[in-house]
Chains A and B, each alone.
Chain A
Amino acid sequence: MDKIERIMNSLDKLPTLPTIYTKLSRLLHAPDSTARMISDAIAEDQVVAAKVLKLANSSFYGFAKRIGTLQHAVVILGMNEIKTLVLATSVVKTFHDYKSGHTFDVQEFWEHSLACATASRVLAEAGRLSSPEEVFAGGLLHDIGKLIYALFFSEDFACVMEEVENNEMPIITAEKKIMGLSHADVGRALAVKWNLPEGIVKMISGHHVSEKNTDCTKEIAAVNLGNTLCIALGMVSWGERKVPCIHDSVWRSLGIKISDLEFIIMRINSLCKENSSILEN
């Protein structure tokens, strides 16, 4: 069985998302769902419920008054935001008990992922994208393929780590050479298995934009640039410790101005500092 087949087969054995996410997705599409029904559904998973409330009260939203109940959170934030928060907390919960065998730092991974989610969202708002909350989810999950590799293919991934660290090979090149698939490909496969929205699947699979891409969607551009800005601010990702260049297609697609960058970067920096441990238990 070749490596690619092995990886794809192993995805079937991976945990599914907590049932709360599927249940919530169904409820959100049902025409007669109420805020009460939605908050009751979330409350069935105490871990997810607690985190959703914590996120709702964070400086991501900056509400003047404290949001005390899930029902209140549903009403104030709206369906799309709630769905994103439940997705984010569900994914973190799914992987919580796994331990990485090698030098891959899982805490650094989630810090970078949350930072990228934040940065992508700030950029989506600056670029006036229609669903900044979906871009937040895309940013959070963009590197999930790396986590899969580190947790379930640690031996082979150790060889990738060697190529990247000792021979300065770009991570995508090393992954394709040694594993057959990049972390973006694996992330995409996982997102499809989990039935995530199409937009999120695309952001995960397309977040490494190359020079050959003459155009890319605004959402992919937001995640790509968000990732770059996080690395620039020192919130690095394993295997990507140098600031990558920003391709023309990304900059043109997002449509922000150079003069917007200062405010955007300052905002990303303060949101990340204020919320760095928000996903921890």
Chain B
Amino acid sequence: MSLLEVNALQAGMLLAQDIRNNHGTVILKRGTTIAERHIKGLKAWGISEVDIVTSEITPEGRGEEDSMAGEVIPVIEEKLKKRFHRFEGDAVMEEIYRVVRKLVLHEATATHKGDE
């Protein structure tokens, strides 16, 4: 599984997770093979990135990727906790933290892979 920006999507890729819109409604189901019309629709919905199945990662490779992410995650969370004050219970701040964490993890894992 890997996160891909909508602009990088190509027809023929396979969805690894359901895609939901802002209201939580499923607009494309897991397992759907992506077609051109889907990509246009996703852009119109403002979806920025999508979880797709990357078949070139072997089961062993996938394990390696998970453990790489496992090393990186605590370091990143430590860094983010220093930047963010206590915000539990504040829905807006929690969402900002969630999105920033997702972005930073994605970028760090992508860099990690690039360093190999």
* A residues at B contact (CB < 8 Å): 228-229, 231-234, 241-246, 251, 257-263, 265-267, 269
A258–B92 CB distance below 8 A: yes
B85–A243 CB distance below 8 A: yes
B48–A243 CB distance below 8 A: no
**Shortest Cβ distance from B96 into A: residue:** A232
Q: 25 pairs across A/B with beta carbons < 8 Å?
A: A228-B96, A232-B96, A232-B97, A241-B83, A242-B83, A242-B84, A243-B96, A244-B85, A245-B85, A245-B90, A245-B93, A246-B90, A246-B93, A258-B91, A258-B95, A259-B22, A260-B22, A261-B95, A261-B99, A263-B46, A263-B48, A265-B96, A265-B99, A266-B49, A266-B99
Is residue B100 within 8 Å, beta carbon to beta carbon, of the partner chain?
yes
Contacts of A263 in B (CB 8 A): 46-48
Give the docked Cα–Cα distance between A263 and B90 (Å): 19
- Top 6 nearest A-B pairs (CB, nearest first) are A259-B22, A266-B48, A263-B46, A265-B99, A262-B99, A243-B84
Give the docked Cα–Cα distance between A258 and B87 (Å): 15
Q: How far is the CB of B11 from chain A (nearest CB, A)?
A: 21
A265–B83 CB distance below 8 A: no
B100–A233 CB distance below 8 A: yes
Is residue B23 within 8 Å, beta carbon to beta carbon, of the partner chain?
yes
Selected from B22, B47, B48, B49, the residue in CB contact (under 8 A) with A257 is: B22
B85–A267 CB distance below 8 A: no
**Shortest Cβ distance from B79 into A: residue:** A234
**Shortest Cβ distance from B85 into A: residue:** A242
* B residues at A contact (CB < 8 Å): 22-23, 46-49, 82-85, 87, 90-93, 95-97, 99-100, 103-104
Give the docked Cα–Cα distance between A241 and B84 (Å): 9
Give the docked Cα–Cα distance between A258 and B90 (Å): 11
Q: How far is the CB of B79 from chain A (nearest CB, A)?
A: 9
Q: How far is the CB of A201 from chain B (nearest CB, A)?
A: 28
B96–A229 CB distance below 8 A: yes
Q: How far is the CB of B85 from chain A (nearest CB, A)?
A: 6
A262–B91 CB distance below 8 A: no
Contacts of A259 in B (CB 8 A): 22-23
Contacts of A258 in B (CB 8 A): 91-92, 95
Give the docked Cα–Cα distance between A267 and B6 (Å): 12
Q: How far is the CB of B42 from chain A (nearest CB, A)?
A: 12
Give the docked Cα–Cα distance between A234 and B104 (Å): 10
Contacts of B22 in A (CB 8 A): 257, 259-260
Given contacts A261-B96, A266-B99, contact A234 B46 (CB under 8 A): no
Contacts of A257 in B (CB 8 A): 22
Give the docked Cα–Cα distance between A263 and B43 (Å): 11
Contacts of B48 in A (CB 8 A): 262-263, 266-267
Give the docked Cα–Cα distance between A242 and B96 (Å): 13
Give the docked Cα–Cα distance between A251 and B93 (Å): 11
**Shortest Cβ distance from A257 into B: residue:** B22
Selected from A229, A245, A251, A262, the residue in CB contact (under 8 A) with B87 is: A245
Contacts of B95 in A (CB 8 A): 258, 261-262
Give the docked Cα–Cα distance between A257 and B47 (Å): 15
Q: 13 extra interchain contacts, Cβ-Cβ under 8 A, other than A232-B100, A262-B95?
A: A232-B84, A232-B97, A234-B104, A242-B82, A242-B83, A244-B85, A245-B90, A245-B93, A258-B95, A259-B23, A263-B47, A265-B99, A265-B100
